Amino acid sequence: IGKENDTDQARRLTRDEKAAKNMNIPYSVQFIITCSMEEFNDILNNKSLDNEQISLCRNIRRRGKNKIAAQNCRTRKIDQISKLEEELGSVRSRKRYLLEEHEKLMIDHMKWMVVLDQLERHILERLVMDKEKDWKIRVTGEGVVDVVEKC
């Protein structure tokens, strides 16, 4: 049973942890990765480490820092996607509102066109004008209203 626990524990070690253990590096992989640059330089300048151990420490730190950077990148990406999904929902809602508003305005516009046409016909019928000619009411940009012959 004791040997099974040892083998289970050895299988759970990462590649870097196994390599550090096999090369008798006196620091944990986590410490090598998370320590400050000053502390890491102290590790590298340690006279008890040979060149192979120093090289392994550098590789462990590089891979560890890269893993952390990759995790941070994935987190940022997920946050950006969430933000964009929220923004998309908001824009879609705004679009629906504007389309409904546009439809209402178009209906109002058509109603007013009918009202104006009826009013124009009513006014022209009441005026004593030459019945042989076709007349229309024209409003200029300055707000002046004229009754003119249709062309």
What tens digit of pLDDT does each residue of 75-129 get? 999 999 999 999 999 999 999 999 999 999 999 999 999 998 888 888 877 776 6
Structure tokens at 42: 């102290």
pLDDT of residue 46: 80
CB-CB contact of 135 with 146 (8 Å): no
**How many C-beta atoms surround the C-beta of residue 61 within 10 A?**
21
pLDDT of residue 125: 77
pLDDT of residue 146: 80
pLDDT of residue 77: 98
Q: Tell me: pLDDT of 7 over 70.
A: no
Over residues 127-135, mean pLDDT: 70
Q: Tell me: pLDDT of 133 over 80.
A: no
pLDDT of residue 149: 79
d(CA 146, CA 151): 14
Q: Tell me: pLDDT of 3 over 80.
A: no
The tally of CA atoms less than 13 A away on the side-chain side of residue 107 is 6
d(CA 79, CA 73): 10
d(CA 31, CA 64): 10
What tens digit of pLDDT does each residue of 40-52 get? 999 888 888 999 9
